[in-house]
Structures are given as C-alpha cells and as structure tokens.
Amino acid sequence: MSCKFGKICGGCRFRDLSLIDYQQHKVEQVRNVLQQLCADNFVFEQPLFMQDGCRRRASLAFAKHKGKIILGFNVEQSNEIIDIDCCPMLTPKINKNLDFIRAMLGEICNTKIEINHGKKSSKLCNIDHGDIWITEADNGLDVVLEFGIDPNLEIRQTIFEMVANQDDIIRISHRKTVNHRPETIMEKIKPYLQIAGREVYIPAGTFLQPSKAGEQALLGLAIKYLGNIQGKIADLFCGVGTFSYALVAQPDVQVIAIDSSAELLSGFQESINRQMISNIKIENRNLFKYPLAGKELCGFNAVVFDPPRAGAKEQVTAIAALDYNQKPTRIVAISCNPHSFVRDANILINGGYRIKSITMVDQFVYSLHSELVALFEMPEIINK
C-alpha cells in the first residue's frame, strides 16, 4: 500500500519498493547477518511476512502549532512531526480514532493548568506537546497520554466527557514520562488479549508484540520447535506471559516465568490467579544482572527466551557454562535483533548446542527490523 510519507517517515524505509523486491531485500539482510554464525548446517525456514494494517500498537508525538494539533510520527532522525490522519501500518480501529484523539488533544492543550512554585508563587500554563501511546486490545483501544504536567480536574472531566461516548476507546491513562507508571484517568472495562484461549488483562502502556498475527506466528513457532517436550520449562523475559500461556496449554508442563518488570508481573500473577492456573510460577528478576545459573538451571528440559534488542548474553553464557548433562535439551530463542541473536547463538554453539532451524518473522513491515525464532538442541536429541 502506498503512503505519501513513506520516504520521510522513520518507520517505513522500504515502502517505495515493490512487495516482492521488499521481501527479497529483507531476507537478504537477515541472511547476510546469519553468515556470522559459527554454523551453517541449520535449516532457514520459509519466512513469515505480516501485512499492512495489522500493527496494533503505536507511539505518536503531538504538538500544538499555530492553534492546530499536529499528531503523527517523527521525520527520520528529527523532532519534526509528520501530521497524519491515517497510517497504512496501523489497524483500521486505530486509524478510525485518530481524528477523535486529535480533537481530544486539542481540548487538553486549550486548558489552562495552574503550576505551583511554592506557597506564594504559581502560574498558568498550557500543555503544548507530548506523546500518545495507543494499543488495540481485543476489546478496544487502550490510550496513554504522556506529558510532563499532571492533568487537572478540568482536563480529567474533559477526557471523561469526550471518551464516554466513544465506543472504541476503553481506557485512558496519563504519565509524565515513559519511565513513570501510568495513572488511570478513565476505565470503562479492563483491556484484555486472547492468548492461548485465555483472557489476559494488560497494564496500561504495556509492551506487546506489534501485531496479533505476529504474536500468533511466534507462538506457533515456539510450540512447533518445542515439540512434545514435557516437564519444566523456563520462560525468560516473559513480559505479560504471552509464551507461558501457550506453553502450559501443552500436557504435563510446568513453567517458571521470569522478568524484571514488577508491574507486568503483578498483572500476570493476577491473571493466573483469576484463572486458577497452577502450573506457572512467576519470579521478578533482572536477568541481565542476575541470570539463572548453575544449580538454578538444573532440571529444566527447555528454555524459551524473548529478550529486548540487547539480547540475552549473560543468560546464554550461564546456560553454555553448564555441564553437558545439566543443559536444557532444547532452547527456543526469539529475537528482534539479528545482530545480538548471532552473538548469543555463537555462545550457545560454543557451549555444545546446535542450531536446527531459524525462521524469520517480518513483524515490522517496510522497516529495517526483523524478528527471528530459532531452535537449539543438544546433539543427542538431533541424533535420535
């Protein structure tokens, strides 16, 4: 699908290519990086390509300029905002509500806020810029407003009155920066996702796979690569538990899910308590500083990990250092950065693992980014 902003927006660098040329270019990019692996006897599976119109989360910038609200994405390597009313990457529901969100931001930016500078000093000011984070849950849109001033009562009432009659938006929250926990301003119903047949409530501003189709592709590959493995499985960098829910749907599986985000894990724990899932155990832990190591890894039949772009160097180093008979027999690695994946994969290879399969999943359509799912096995599994 064409886009008039394709050549200037930072998100769709290759939109001017034909679909076939783009997909070939993306595969070549990944193959070139994978040449740095210390192995070449793996199967590079048929890549999976997502389509336009399926991106369910977006971060947009906004600013008030000459009395008008500019809402959109930044020009590549710039603070300039491209004013958009529709993006071909985003889901129809998100695009449908951009005009409403723009109007709501206009009312917010037109409202004076009193800022206190001590007991005897205060001034009136307006919000004139910020960011907005939109996530499409399965039951509606979850919106987080991000600007550096706490919304006053008038802004909260404006949001409530405007959103009350907007069926698609089910929650509005605010935070001062991306590092602050969002405060809910209005919640009609808790946003949830259907994952492995379960309703999973999500915290405001939570990180999710960018598309439902991409999430299902990753889950399908993880389950396929694990096969009929049973027993104890580690789900590392688990987030909201996307892979854990799919894993415990298999028979005779016990999952230990670990992440460093207390907020995500709190929602995850609440969800498994509500659904009475007894075979997921959750641990709050920074795996970059304190990876599972030594005896802690003993007894795991498999490990699934999906780290941030930095990869999982510390964790795979700990796994590779295990004695031969203590190593998990299968590892499924999900990576959104082929370069850090190659580094981590080579550590596992040097620790005795072999790569059996790698699948590219193109979640970030027309961008430089690619996702990989790979299966590592100990040699005795391959030789059976």
Residue 245 has pLDDT above 90, yes or no: yes
Per-residue pLDDT, 367: 86
Q: How far is CA 321 from CA 256, 329, 346, in A?
A: 20, 14, 13
pLDDT per position as a tens digit, 112-128: 888 776 666 667 888 99
Nearest to 195 by CA among 169, 163, 219: 219
Mean of the per-residue pLDDT values of the chain: 92
- Provide the sign of the torsion angle of the four alpha carbons 72, 368, 342, 363, taken in this order: positive
Per-residue pLDDT, 118: 61
- Say whether both 242 and 266 belong to one domain: yes
Per-residue pLDDT, 263: 85
Alpha-carbon gap, residue 132 to 58, rounded angstroms: 8
Across the range 23-39, mean pLDDT stands at 95
Q: Quick one: residue 308, left, alpha or beta (phi over 0 = left, psi -120 to 50 = alpha)?
A: beta
**Residue 103, domain member (yes or no):** yes
pLDDT per position as a tens digit, 146-168: 999 999 999 999 999 999 999 99
Domain boundary among 181, 201, 221: 201
Alpha-carbon gap, residue 316 to 243, rounded angstroms: 19
- Say whether both 40 and 146 belong to one domain: no
Per-residue pLDDT, 120: 61
User: What confidence tier does 359 reach under pLDDT thresholds 50, 70, 90?
Assistant: very high
Per-residue pLDDT, 77: 74
Residue 332, number of CB atoms within 10 A of its CB: 26
Residue 378 has pLDDT above 70, yes or no: yes
- Rounded to two decimals, what is the model's pTM? 0.90
The count of structural domains within the chain is: 2
In angstroms and rounded to an integer, the radius of gyration of the C-alpha atoms of the chain is 23
User: What confidence tier does 1 reach under pLDDT thresholds 50, 70, 90?
Assistant: low
**Residue 10, domain member (yes or no):** no
Q: Partners of 171 in the beta sheet?
A: 142, 187
Per-residue pLDDT, 384: 41
* Alpha helices in the chain, H assignment, sequence order: 19-34, 92-96, 98-109, 153-164, 212-226, 242-247, 262-274, 313-320, 338-350, 379-382
Strands (E), the chain: 43-44, 48-49, 57-65, 68-74, 81-83, 113-116, 122-125, 129-137, 140-146, 169-175, 183-187, 192-195, 198-201, 231-236, 253-259, 280-284, 300-305, 330-335, 354-362, 371-377
Q: What percent of the chain has pLDDT over 90?
A: 74
More confident: 30 or 117: 30
Alpha-carbon gap, residue 133 to 173, rounded angstroms: 10
Residue 46 has pLDDT above 70, yes or no: yes
Across the range 183-202, mean pLDDT stands at 92
∠ CA 267-89-222 to the nearest 5 degrees?
A: 50
Q: What is the largest CA-CA distance in the chain?
A: 79
pLDDT per position as a tens digit, 80-104: 899 998 999 999 999 999 999 999 9
Contacts 24+ apart (CB under 8 A), 95-100: 96/168, 97/134, 97/141, 97/166, 97/168, 97/169, 98/71, 100/162, 100/166, 100/169
Residue 365 has pLDDT above 80, yes or no: yes
Alpha-carbon gap, residue 208 to 308, rounded angstroms: 12
- Say whether both 369 and 234 belong to one domain: yes
- Say whether both 194 and 285 belong to one domain: no
Instruction: Provide φ and ψ at 269, rounded to 5°.
Output: -65, -40
Per-residue pLDDT, 383: 45
Q: Which residues are catalytic?
A: 336
- Say whether both 44 and 65 belong to one domain: no
- Say whether both 268 and 325 belong to one domain: yes
CATH number (domain holding residue 274): 3.40.50.150
Domain with 164 in it: 57-201
Across the range 351-376, mean pLDDT stands at 94
- Say whether both 247 and 345 belong to one domain: yes
What is residue 47's three-state secondary structure? coil
- Say whether both 223 and 310 belong to one domain: yes
C-beta of residue 238 within 8 angstroms of C-beta of residue 248: no
Domain boundary among 163, 179, 201: 201
Choose the weakest-confidence range: 60-64, 148-152, 204-208, 232-236: 204-208
- Say whether both 196 and 266 belong to one domain: no
